[in-house]
């Protein structure tokens, strides 16, 4: 099997001059199954997360290392954007409030939503993986080929129902990625029978 490495959700990421946060989402092209961006959110400080183009990610070290300094990281596209929610004004009419609301006297609510480039999907820790006969666990990340960043496997979260540390499911078994679920063409038993996959284990 060719050299692969995992992009784990929750993995620490660092720039050339220091840590910048943790991987919160993985953005993929669902047609080519190539990773296009990593969403990196601050760990201990306030501020917006950033969408990091995968070409800035150095995969040769076995860690999530970005080929940019912290100052350049801050100039990347924010990973969240202002959303809108309906609100009933005093007249009873629906109004839409965009972005964060700073006026305490305003009854509207602003929200932020995760940004996903058009035509792409994001892989998050909250996604549940479903076999043809039921749920089997939650996603932990994706395994990719460093050259081209093509996804080869979906990595299940540790501590799932079979007690194995991790299970890597071939991307060809994924039939659909929804907002809450990832659907497979395999049964629970077929997933259980998958052979272990030799992957790198970055510490952060």
Query: Domain holding 42: CATH number?
Result: 3.90.50.10
Q: Based on the domain organization, do 129 and 107 belong to the same domain? A: no
Q: Give alpha helix (H) positions in the chain.
A: 70-73, 188-192
Per-residue pLDDT averaged across 26-52, rounded? Answer: 87
CA torsion through residues 143, 31, 130, 124, sign: positive
User: Cβ neighbours of residue 29 under 8 Å, at least 6 residues apart?
Assistant: 36, 119, 120
Q: Based on the domain organization, do 167 and 145 belong to the same domain? A: yes
Question: Which pLDDT does position 82 carry in this prediction?
Answer: 67
Parent domain of 89: 80-114
Three-state DSSP class for residue 98: strand
Q: Is residue 198 part of a domain?
A: no
* pTM attached to this predicted model: 0.76
> Distance (Å, rounded) from C-alpha 73 to C-alpha 14?
10
Phi then psi for residue 41, to 5 deg, are -105, 145
Q: Based on the domain organization, do 87 and 61 belong to the same domain? A: no
- Angle ∠(7,61,27) on CA atoms, nearest 5: 25
Question: Which pLDDT does position 46 carry in this prediction?
Answer: 62
Q: Based on the domain organization, do 50 and 33 belong to the same domain? A: yes
Q: Which of 10-24, 29-43, 87-101 has the lowest mean pLDDT?
A: 87-101
Q: Based on the domain organization, do 49 and 107 belong to the same domain? A: no
Q: Is residue 199 part of a domain?
A: no
CB count in 10 Å sphere of residue 88: 11
Which residue, 90, 114, 138, sits at the end of a domain? 114
Q: What is the mean pLDDT of the chain?
A: 78
Q: Is residue 200 part of a domain?
A: no
User: Cβ neighbours of residue 132 under 8 Å, at least 6 residues apart?
Assistant: 184, 185, 186, 187
Q: What is the pLDDT of residues 78-101, one digit of tens each?
A: 988 765 545 444 444 333 333 333
> Distance (Å, rounded) from C-alpha 203 to C-alpha 180?
28
Three-state DSSP class for residue 188: helix
Q: Based on the domain organization, do 86 and 60 belong to the same domain? A: no
Number of helices (H), then strands (E), belonging to the chain: the values are 2, 18
Q: Is residue 183 part of a domain?
A: yes
Q: What is the pLDDT of residues 152-190, one digit of tens each?
A: 999 887 555 555 557 889 999 999 988 889 999 999 999
Task: Count how many domains the chain has.
Answer: 3
> Distance (Å, rounded) from C-alpha 100 to C-alpha 70?
25
Residue 76 reports pLDDT greater than 90: yes
Q: Is residue 202 part of a domain?
A: no
- Angle ∠(31,178,22) on CA atoms, nearest 5: 85
Query: Domain holding 129: CATH number?
Result: 2.30.30.240
Q: Based on the domain organization, do 69 and 107 belong to the same domain? A: no
């Amino acid at each position: 099997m060719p050299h692969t490495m995992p992009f784990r959700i929750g993995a620490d990421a660092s720039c050339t001059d220091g840590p910048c946060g943790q991987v919160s989402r993985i953005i993929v092209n669902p047609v080519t199954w190539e990773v296009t961006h990593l969403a990196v959110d601050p760990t201990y400080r306030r501020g917006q997360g950033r969408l990091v183009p995968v070409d800035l990610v150095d995969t040769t070290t076995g860690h999530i290392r970005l080929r940019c300094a912290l100052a350049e990281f801050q100039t990347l596209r924010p990973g969240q954007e202002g959303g809108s929610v309906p609100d009933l004004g005093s007249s009873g009419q629906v109004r839409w409030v965009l972005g964060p609301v700073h006026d305490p006297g305003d009854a509207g609510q602003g929200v932020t939503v995760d940004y996903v480039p058009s035509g792409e999907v994001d892989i998050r820790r909250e996604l549940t993986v479903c076999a043809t006969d039921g749920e089997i666990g939650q996603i932990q990340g994706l395994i990719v080929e460093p050259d081209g960043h093509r996804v080869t496997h979906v990595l299940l979260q540790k501590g799932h129902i079979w007690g194995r540390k991790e299970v890597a499911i071939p991307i060809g078994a994924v039939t659909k990625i929804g907002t809450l679920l990832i659907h497979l063409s395999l049964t629970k038993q077929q997933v259980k029978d998958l052979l272990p996959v030799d992957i790198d284990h970055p510490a952060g």
